[in-house]
Amino acid sequence: MSIGNSPADDDRPSIGRVLQQARIGARLTVDEVSTATRVRIPIVHGIEQDDFSRCGGDVYARGHIRSLARAVGVDPGPLITQYDEEHGGRPEPTAAAPLFEAERIRSEPRRPNWTAAMVAAIVAVVGFVGFTLVSGGGDGEGSTVAEGTESAKPTASNGKPTPTKPADPKPDPSDSAIAGVPANKVMVKLTAANRQAWISAKDHNGRLLHVGVLQQGVSKTFTDPKRIDLVLGDAGAVQLFVNGKEVKNVGEDGQVQRLTYTKGDPEAG
């Protein structure tokens, strides 16, 4: 009888192998994954080789695994479970109740809360003054209209009632949705029309707006005053609108496209 991992465990690929194959399948480089997740390149290389010594501990290792998995389109849950099984599992949480048991044994005598008393006194004085002002205001000429009568309409100097200006009609919600494209910005809308696709979007300062897998049927919209930079992992799966106009022939199936768009028509990008 041999002692060791079961056959099921031997057949299961390692965490680093799963992440590496998923990254290659998404046509991403280690540099791109590092930029998208803010995990340093040596750590990405180490994790793909199942070396977690650079992570700085189990907590950081779990966080890096979760970030890398999401960036390459893999469910992080099974990988985190596998990491816990291979590294002794998560530490048991400490029960909170015993920590406070000593405080309940001996109670100190309560002292008068002068602050609360002063606040209550101030509130009482303010309330009395407010009640007095409201009650006194009713002795003079009031503007309250008796119940059951029409409110007085404003009149001009000649005694005729001044016509009331009709309220401006509220815009139709559909009109505001159609006019949602800003004139002084670039707006990019991406939809995973045919299947899921990996996308990355940055603003003109290089700040990452979004990175990860866009599930089929899901849309993302990005705006910027100057420029939007895109990386499409599967250009043939993406439907692209720039400043309200559809961009035809974004790319072939499985093709990685790097695109940049600015204000104006899509052709200006």
**Residues β-bridged to residue 246:** 241
CATH number at residue 77: 1.10.260.40
Q: How far apart are CA 110 and CA 116, in angstroms?
A: 14
Strands, E assignment, 158-248: 186-192, 197-202, 208-214, 219-224, 227-232, 238-242, 245-247
Would residue 185 count as lying in a domain?
Answer: yes
Would residue 205 count as lying in a domain?
Answer: yes
Q: How far apart are CA 19 and CA 47, in angstroms?
A: 8
Domain boundary among 60, 86, 112: 86
pLDDT (0 to 100) of residue 230: 86
Q: What is the domain range of residue 58?
A: 7-86
Would residue 169 count as lying in a domain?
Answer: no
- pTM equals 0.42
pLDDT (0 to 100) of residue 256: 87
CATH number at residue 239: 2.60.60
Q: How far apart are CA 246 and CA 240, in angstroms?
A: 6
Could you give the number of structural domains in the chain?
2
In this prediction, the residues of the chain whose per-residue pLDDT falls under 70 are: 1-10, 89-112, 134-181, 265, 267-269
Distances (CA, A) of 115 to 110, 121, 124, 126, 185: 14, 10, 14, 17, 53
Would residue 91 count as lying in a domain?
Answer: no
